[in-house]
Amino acid sequence: MIRKFKTLTLAFAFIMAVPLIAQANGLPVFTELAAKAGKAVVFISTEKTAAPGHGQQFRQQVPEGHPFHEFFDRFDQFFGQQQGQPRKQLGQGSGFVITSDGLIVTNNHVIEGADKVTVRFQDNKKIYEAKVVGADRETDLAVIKIKADKTLSTLPLGNSDAIQVGEWVLAIGNPFGLDNTVTAGIISAKHRIIGAGPFDNFLQTDASINPGNSGGPLLNMRGEVIGINTAINAAADNIGFAIPSTQAEKIIRQLQQGKIVQRGWLGVTIQRVGETQAKALGLSEPTGALIASVGKGSPADKGGVKQGDVILEVNGKKVEDNNDLLKQIAGLAPGDKARLGLWSKGKKVTKNVTLGQRNDKSLAAMTPKGQGPTKTAEVLGMQLKSVTDQEAQALGLDKTQGLVVVTVDRNTAAGEEGIRQGDVIIQANQKDVNTVAELKSVIKRDKKRGAVMLLIKRQGQNSFVALPLDK
């Protein structure tokens, strides 16, 4: 007993000494930051009533002996036969309070399509029902509101542009339902493009982020939110991604006022300027965004921008590449004047353009019809294109394969089933599809089944989605 007591005493003394050792070695201690910031972090639960699954319709059309029959039999064995009844889907995520009266920031994908959203704080004493104030799919941000019965603790948005690679950060959230989980790490990289959407510009961190952390804060050592935790690399350990606060702040400001996010639009398709293109164009360095096409009647067309021009500056600010141009233009409002510095036919020129509004209609107007590797076509409410070598790397694919989803009509089955921009369709009815023509061929072949089963890859994870086919 004496030996055990001594062992416990020594162990307790060691545990008590850990913070002092960490401080002596110059390592950060997160206890105070975690305790203070945790009061403003919330656990979000959602409920969604899903329509009878298209998988039931698909099952009825699958011939006997087909491999999918075994899949459905195993599903029924473990989960019970649903008989095509509406089913309740539960979800969870994180968020953080930005105003003392109950405005909360989270990810759009946490609350999208939910019939009911509830919020619980660190003390677990009360569950609040929340309403969605505003949401933006393209940046995956949302603002929800609860009726607070007390003054709430809040977290301020910091300057993510100022944070440097190697700085310590703290993530707080509810991974796998383990609420009030705190993890620490560093900023591993900035300006990451992972194929999640048109405005990819993520902070990368090795602070552990898992499903359920989505929408929670990534904090600097001053307790400021410098990122909103959003995505992970499912094939790796401790590679997580957060939306930078400086990018999110303007969107959040519009959403909390209940406004639809408005973005500027040029009406051009663009591509990266590589070293070879730069030499051919007479540029001194590979920079800017090369105009691949100009939409007829678009703002760019009216402003005199031509195919083959390279946009080098917007309102005096240098354009690094095509992604940078997209973010700069989207950061302006419809109706704003954009002074474009162009490289046109071997010389610098300036064009003034009045921006239009970026929305589904304007994007669809720019969609070229066809099935070539760089063109898109509409199938089942989705604009699809073949994945290029460069896109495969950005989308986290092992090889160049599949069809990337460019846009989705929310009012179609594809939109209702949760297919979103950046998803990659790998197979249709167990057949590889790498062109729109191949997908259409499968649909035509199996039209009598009444549905098509798509294998979707998203952020390194596979899932099946069944879509009905019109008779």
Catalytic residues: 109, 140, 214
**Measured distance CA(413)–CA(394) in Å, rounded:** 27
SS3 246: helix
SS3 394: helix
CA distance 54 to 465: 9
Phi, psi of 315 (to 5 degrees): 50, 40
- Contacting residues for 36 by C-beta, under 8 A, at least 6 apart: 153, 223
| Token digits of residue 121 | 């704080």
Burial of 375 (0-12, 13-18, 19+ CB in 10 A): middle
- CB–CB of 3/10 below 8 Å? no
Nearest-5° Cα angle at 54, 51 to 56: 105
Q: How many residues does this entry show for the chain? A: 471
Q: Cα-atom radius of gyration of the chain, to the nearest Å? A: 25
Handedness of CA 53, 54, 58, 61 (dihedral sign): positive
CB atoms within 10 A of CB 180: 16
Helices assigned H by DSSP within 84-140: 108-111
- The amino acid at residue 177 is G
> Quick check: 117 and 107 in contact, CB under 8 A?
no
Alpha carbon 443 to chain centroid, angstroms:
29
| H helix or E strand, kind and range, residue 129 | strand 127-136
Q: 200: closest CA among 348, 36, 395?
A: 395
Angle at 182 between CA 236 and CA 162, to 5 degrees: 80
DSSP 8-55: HHHHHHHHHHHHHHHHHTT----HHHHHHHHTTEEEEEEEEEEPSPHH
Which of 266, 292, 290, 267 is CA-nearest to residue 366? 267
Record the tokens describing residue 110, joined without a space. 């946490």
Q: Is the dihedral of CA 58, 64, 66, 69 positive or negative?
A: positive
Residue type, 327: K
